[in-house]
A = this chain, B = another copy of it.
Amino acid sequence: MKKFLNDPAKFVDEMVQGIVAAHPKQLKFAADDVRCLVRADEKKEGKVGLATGGGSGHLPLFLGYVGKGMLDGCSVGGVFQSPSAQQMFEVTKAIDSGAGVLYIYGNYGGDVMNFDMAAEMADVEDIRVEQVVAGEDVASAPKGQESKRRGVAGIFYVYKIAGACAEEMASLDEVKRVAQKVCANVRTMGVALSPCTIPEVGKPTFQIGENEMEIGMGIHGEPGIQRGPLKTADEVVEAMLRPILADLPYQKGDEVSVLINGLGATPKEELYVMYRKVNEILEAEGICVYHAYIGEFATSMEMAGASISLLKLDDELKYFLAKPANTPFFEQAQL
């Protein structure tokens, strides 16, 4: 394990302390807990609060999207571990300004359980909470069983669009409706080339052969749908994109946003070689790309690999996607 770290047990806390030290105008701690983070700027009365949370090791997920035009707060757990319900509740209290709070998080057992508990705790305090669970990994469950799917990089679109909607002072029901529409319109597929190492564990999360890849693997190393010899970039893109296109399905005349996400160690150069092929396939299918995002949006520390996400757009989603955002890990001017 070759990492820049001090005591592995302090890895997450030191990382979060570094983030807040680096971005003091954007982020601050809530409830005297370094794992509860909220926007540093003044709370806007009557704005719906957006909260997320999840395990560490996925930067920019989750806390990196707290900021203007996206989220209001986030609780972070240990590496690949859910934060506690109490931490989620502390964030809820800190960001509520009377209009209620929307939880947006990925479909993982621990997170679902803890966010449910946090919502109950909020209910006792008369804070209205609604929840949207993102799950769009087509490799993780077949069509017809969408509610079993894992949430991966596509949650970025939920944060971006629901965040822009909340920024315009929409009601909790309205923000929830828009967030759900994003979830319904996004699909993702991943591929892994190498594992990562959790600092406190000290050995790789899984084994994979020197010339192997695994299509459909999750961001914690969850099993994929096909392991075999590493193919060319164009072949890998075909194997990832075809199941995505077939699933929704995305069709001729659709307008989409594309997200190519690096899992950590994969160079941006390779992500763009992949995008070249994605763009070629979409053009041939008569699907128009409104905007492409390429980079690291949801990682697994130093895992090598990538994911492709497609979001089908309508005028409403496009309007909110185009709005500016300003967070420590994601900046966008009006598109």
Size category of the binding interface on chain A: 35 or more
A64 (CB) vs chain B CBs: closest residue: B268
Is A269 within 8 A of B17, CB to CB?
Answer: no
Known: A4-B236, A193-B2. A15 touches B292 (CB 8 A): no
Which listed residue (B18, B60, B267, B331) contacts A59, Cβ 8 A?
B267
- Cβ of B2 and Cβ of A299 under 8 Å apart? no
In the complex, what distance in Å separates the CA atom of A269 from the CA atom of B57? 7
Q: How far in angstroms is the closest Cβ of chain B from A297?
A: 11
Is the beta-carbon distance between A4 and B274 smaller than 8 angstroms?
yes
Contact A60 B268, CB 8 Å, known A18-B279, A331-B331? yes
Known: A4-B270, A266-B4, A269-B56. A304 touches B302 (CB 8 A): yes
Minimum CB distance partner of A330 in chain B: B331
Q: Are A233 and B269 in contact (CB under 8 A)?
A: no
A269's partner among B11, B194, B266, B274 (CB-CB below 8 A) is B11
Cross-interface CB contact of A21 among B18, B57, B194, B276, cutoff 8 Å: B276
Chain B residues within an 8 Å CB radius of A57: 267, 269
User: Is the C-beta of A175 less than 8 angstroms from some C-beta in chain B?
Assistant: no
Which of B270, B301, B329 lies in contact with A267, CB distance below 8 A? B301
Instruction: Give the CA-CA distance A21 to B299 in the complex, in Å.
Output: 24
Asked if B269 contacts A15 (CB within 8 A), the reply is yes
Contacts of A22 in B (CB 8 A): 272, 275, 279, 292, 294
- The reply to whether the CB of A14 lies closer than 8 angstroms to some CB of chain B is yes
Q: Judge whether A324 is part of the interface by a CB distance below 8 angstroms.
A: yes
* A301 interface neighbour in B269, B276, B324, Cβ under 8 Å: B269
Map CB proximity to B onto A95-116 as digits: 1 under 8 Å, 0 otherwise. Answer: 0000000000000000000000
Interface of chain A: mostly helix, strand, loop or mixed: mixed
CB distance from A136 to the nearest CB of B (A): 21
- B-chain residues with CB within 8 Å of residue A276 when the two chains form the complex: 14-15, 17-18, 21
Contact A4 B306, beta carbon cutoff 8 Å: yes
**CB neighbours of A225 from chain B (8 A):** none
Residues of B within 8 A of A11 (CB): 269, 273
Residues of chain A whose beta carbon lies under 8 Å from any beta carbon of chain B = 2-6, 11, 14-19, 21-23, 56-57, 59-60, 64, 193-194, 196, 210-211, 213, 230, 232-234, 236, 264-276, 279, 292, 294-296, 299, 301-302, 304, 306, 324, 326, 329, 331-333
A16-B272, A19-B272 known; 13 other A-B pairs, CB under 8 Å?
A: A2-B194, A2-B213, A4-B270, A11-B269, A59-B272, A64-B268, A196-B267, A264-B265, A265-B265, A267-B299, A269-B301, A295-B329, A296-B296
Question: Could you give 27 example pairs across A and B, Cβ below 8 Å?
Answer: A2-B230, A4-B233, A4-B236, A4-B270, A4-B273, A4-B306, A6-B234, A14-B272, A15-B269, A15-B272, A16-B272, A18-B275, A19-B275, A22-B272, A22-B294, A23-B292, A59-B267, A60-B268, A64-B268, A265-B265, A267-B302, A268-B329, A269-B301, A326-B333, A331-B332, A331-B333, A333-B333
User: Which 10 pairs from chain A and chain B are nearest by CB?
Assistant: A18-B272, A18-B276, A265-B265, A4-B270, A331-B331, A59-B268, A4-B233, A22-B292, A267-B301, A18-B275
